[in-house]
Chain A
Amino acid sequence: MKANSSQTAFYTLLFALVLTGLCAVPVLAQGPTPTDDDVNRIAKQLYCPVCESTPLDVCPTEACRQWRDLIRTMLADGKSEVEIKQYFVDHYGARVLAEPPNRWVSYLVPAVAILLGVLILVRGFQMWMKPSPVINGGPEQTNSDAPPVDPYVARLEEELKKQK
């Protein structure tokens, strides 16, 4: 009789444990309830195409509210930030991202433009800083005995002297 009652108690306890375990599984799968901060951390990196130039975390429209709810649901389902952002890109296009996708073209074009700009500046400075050859004997040459470099100018000077 005693054995029977201890057996019953054992099975009752086992049943209770299994039941508790079964109830706990969905709770564990869902994870902790995401807070508004968790949702907004991702939402502020997204822009709804309907209300361009307004980040999702502060956008007051119904469409944006639905998107925030979707982020909350996905977070509760255990999806990561990267997975959620990828879902939004797949469904609504890359333009929903606050930052453009990390593509090499995104960096190549500005890099080439900057390099080209620097090259133009350097070449420009080189040209502008290069002293121009003094040909016509400026004011500093008036008192100088140095012969003019240009034969034409030299001849002209000579002719002028003859006329005096």
Chain B
Amino acid sequence: MTDSTTPAPRRGVPLWVQIIIWVGLLGLLGIVALGLRRTQQGTVQPGQKIENFSLPMYTGYQHEGKSEVHLEDLRGKVVVLNFWASWCKPCEQEAAEMEQAWKQYEPTGKVVFLGADYVDTEPEARVYMKKFGITYANGPDLATKISQYFRIKGVPETYFIDQEGVLKYVQVGPFTSVDQIRSQIDKMLSE
């Protein structure tokens, strides 16, 4: 009967170390979860209020005399924001249609077309715009800030923002006709 019934004191990891380890692990899991959520989130969804952004124009392009467009200055107008690139073949399918649609709405003053050139080089972008005779406001998406905000998955993608700055419709991939573009704009103008 030499064994005692009193339990031997536990030798283990101190409490503060355990807390740090668990907090660290939970933090790591949180970061992974946020990353996964962001990956699976997709583009910005219709109904969301779009934050202000600035798009500097390419030389020779402007909007109402300004060389930089701010979304908040376009309140009261329907904004058609098109992401494109000169290396993007599907963008070429809709380039002429976009310009044609712009020409139809330009005199009304109620619609603004913006072209955000995504991960592109200026000389090639200029060749592209000249080739398709693009006249609406166009500029580079500097540091890919705008495309990151919209979480675009590729080009072309077009975002229709209403007069209050709320996203109404997202077109992933090229438009196939001018009517397709017009139907969205007309719907927003009639609301």
Interface set of A (CB-CB < 8 Å, partner B)? 48-50, 61-63, 66-67, 69-70, 89-95, 116, 120, 123-124, 127-128, 130, 132-133, 135-139, 141-142, 150, 152-153, 156, 160
Contacts and interface: CB of A to CB of B under 8 A. Distances in A.
Nearest to A139: B2
Given A91-B143, A92-B144, A132 B87 contact: no
Interface residues of B, number: 28
Given A91-B142, A92-B144, A133-B9, A66 B87 contact: yes
Interface of B: 1-4, 6, 8-9, 11-14, 17, 20-21, 85-87, 119-121, 123-124, 140, 142-145, 148
Contacts of B143: 89-94
A116 B142 CA distance: 39
A156 to B, nearest CB: 7
Given A66-B124, A91-B140, A128-B11, A136 B6 contact: yes
Q: Chain B binding site: helix, strand, loop or mixed by DSSP? A: loop
21 contacts: A49-B119, A50-B119, A61-B87, A62-B87, A66-B86, A67-B121, A70-B121, A70-B123, A90-B142, A92-B119, A120-B20, A124-B17, A127-B12, A132-B8, A135-B4, A135-B9, A136-B8, A137-B4, A139-B2, A141-B2, A160-B1
B2 A63 contact: no
Contact of B119 (A63, A90, A130, A135): A63
A91 to B, nearest CB: 6
A138 B143 CA distance: 71
Given A66-B87, A92-B144, 18 more contacts: A48-B119, A49-B119, A63-B87, A66-B120, A66-B124, A90-B143, A93-B145, A120-B20, A120-B21, A123-B17, A127-B14, A130-B11, A135-B8, A136-B3, A137-B4, A138-B2, A150-B6, A153-B6
Contacts of A67: 121
B42 to A, nearest CB: 17
Nearest to A49: B119
B13 A127 contact: yes
What are the 6 closest A-B residue pairs judged by CB atoms, nearest first?
Answer: A136-B4, A62-B87, A93-B143, A63-B87, A66-B121, A142-B2
Nearest to A150: B6
Nearest to B148: A93
A62 B120 CA distance: 10
